[in-house]
Amino acid sequence: MADRQQTDPAPQWWSRPEGTTEEGRREAVPAPRPGTGGEDHVQDAAPAPAPDVSAPAAPSSDVSAPDEQATDVSAPDEPVPTPDEPAAFPAVRYDPWGAEPLQVVDRGRTPRGIRLWQVVAISLGTALLAGGTGGYLGVLAERQSGTRLELPQAAGAADRGRAPESVAGIAATALPGVVTLHVRGTKGSGTGTGFVLDPQGHILTNNHVVADSQEITVTFSTGESVTAELVGRDSGYDLAVVKVSGVRGLRPLSLGNSDNVEVGDPVVAIGAPFDLSNTVTAGIISATGRPVTAGGDKGDGSDISYVDALQTDAPINPGNSGGPLLDAKAHVVGINSAIRGADKEDPTRQGGSIGLGFAIPVNQGKRVAEEIIRTGRATHPVIGVTLDMDYSGDGARVGDKGEDGKPSVVADGPGARAGIRAGDVITKVDGQRVRGGDELIIKIRAHRPGDPLTLTVLRAGRESTLKVVLGSANGS
């Protein structure tokens, strides 16, 4: 078997056996191949124990003795290359004196094929990445293109005008003439409503809105605010007039006829409930000729108002006072003045509107406003008698004595001229039933001074009718 010792580099890990000369070593071990790095590491290799080798290496021709020690060991069946042909499978040399392999190269785990779960994971990750990227690019493209999602909507109907008799049409007509009043007084501040009467700046409102006023500010529907002055007021009718100056483009409201109002007629109320200005509510006329009294905080009766009111279910709340009650033609038929709440003793009492609102008929308001604008005060129609307000029977009883011990029937007054006497019980006015003194006063004040009335009187168990012409007294 041929020896390739002359063609392969000398192993770096060989040590020089004892007794081997330098010349012998050169003869026995060929020089390393250029570029293998053996030149630098031969001297650094750690010496290893070696057997005694005294003879030089055998020539490269043949090995005659089978038991003769050789410098290289090859596989028995290894093919022998020719001189002109390199070895097809060069043998790997090893240290014949070492107990362990020369070196161990860690080439990692043996590569395996891709498993199914890896394929699924990669596919899923790729799909998620592609989906997220596509969605982001889609949103980005949509934003950049300026497209928007638009839902279907009916067109044209919102641009049309409202019918004049509709709530919206009435509100559009009346709102420019409705104002909000902010009043500061000695007892605090409050809010009310009013409406413009004429181009000169007169505004009608309730007396209880401005009764304690020191400063009055009027705010129009446009948001413009100006200071107003008090022209006059009357507590018996709960009406007052204020005036603004230097305001152009005033829109006075048209006054209707409250005598023509019927139960069931639609109405619209405008005001500033709880300082929410320009609030519009709607309802109907629930009743007419409803006797209502309000006020009486002073205790002497001088601040009580008596109203032959229009009743409505249009929501009215504090702050609506003095605002207009309008009919279907946007004409003022009443001045909103009072509401009825649940009894204070009722544990379920509801605050605010419960559908019982009351308005002063505009015919009465018109007369009072004209007198206040003209003279600064209003007159009251009277019959010239003092009533017994403690009488609990049916009807209004004429007292036995008047104030300060004076006669209960004023001498030469309207009642005396009609034949009324002390102790008479008045049960009807123009055929309408009267159940108490308050109702009699309300029925009389619903007329003008000088109007004739027919009174039904019960005297000594006998009923008779008397004709009376109303007199006049200055209001408070």
pLDDT digits (tens, 9 = 90+) for 32-42: 555 444 444 43
312 has pLDDT over 90: yes
Across 342-346, average pLDDT = 63
DSSP summary character for residue 401: B
Residue 286 pLDDT > 90: yes
Query: Residue 46: pLDDT band by 50, 70, 90 thresholds?
Result: very low
Taking residue 9's Cβ as centre, other Cβ atoms within 10 Å add up to 16
Residue environment code for 67-76, b if the CB has 16+ CB neighbours within 10 A, otherwise e: eeeeeeeeee
Of 63 and 408, the one with more pLDDT: 408
User: Residue 186 pLDDT > 80, yes or no?
Assistant: yes
Most confident stretch, 53-62, 118-127, 259-268: 259-268
Residues annotated catalytic, as ranges: 208, 238, 321
Name the pLDDT band for 455 (thresholds 50, 70, 90). Answer: very high
In the predicted model, is pLDDT for residue 148 greater than 60?
yes
| pLDDT above 90: residue 284 | yes
**What pLDDT score was predicted for residue 38?**
44
**Is the predicted pLDDT of residue 243 greater than 50, yes or no?**
yes
- Give the pLDDT confidence score for residue 210 in this predicted structure: 95
Position with higher pLDDT, 268 vs 32: 268
Q: What is the pLDDT of residues 198-236, one digit of tens each?
A: 999 999 999 999 998 999 999 999 999 999 999 999 999
pLDDT at 44: 43
Rg for the chain (alpha carbons), in Å? 60
Cβ-based neighbour number of residue 423 at 10 Å: 14
DSSP per-residue letters across 282-333: EEEEEEEEEEEEE--TTSSSTT-EEEEEEEE-S---TT-TT-EEE-TTS-EE
**What mean pLDDT do residues 434-445 have?**
94
**Rounded percentage of the chain residues whose pLDDT exceeds 70:** 69
> Would you say residue 416 has pLDDT above 90?
yes
Residue 83 has pLDDT above 90, yes or no: no
Which pLDDT band holds residue 252 (cuts at 50, 70, 90)? very high
Place 114 in a pLDDT band, splitting at 50, 70 and 90. low
Mean pLDDT of 18-29: 48
Instruction: Look at residue 145 in the predicted model and tell me its pLDDT.
Output: 61
Q: Using 50, 70 and 90 to split pLDDT, how confident is the model at 295?
A: confident
C-alpha distances (whole Å) from 157 to each of 151, 154, 316 are 17, 7, 31
Predicted pLDDT at 440: 95
3-state secondary structure of 352: coil
In this predicted model, what pLDDT tens digit does every residue of 59-71 receive, in sequence order?
A: 444 444 444 444 4
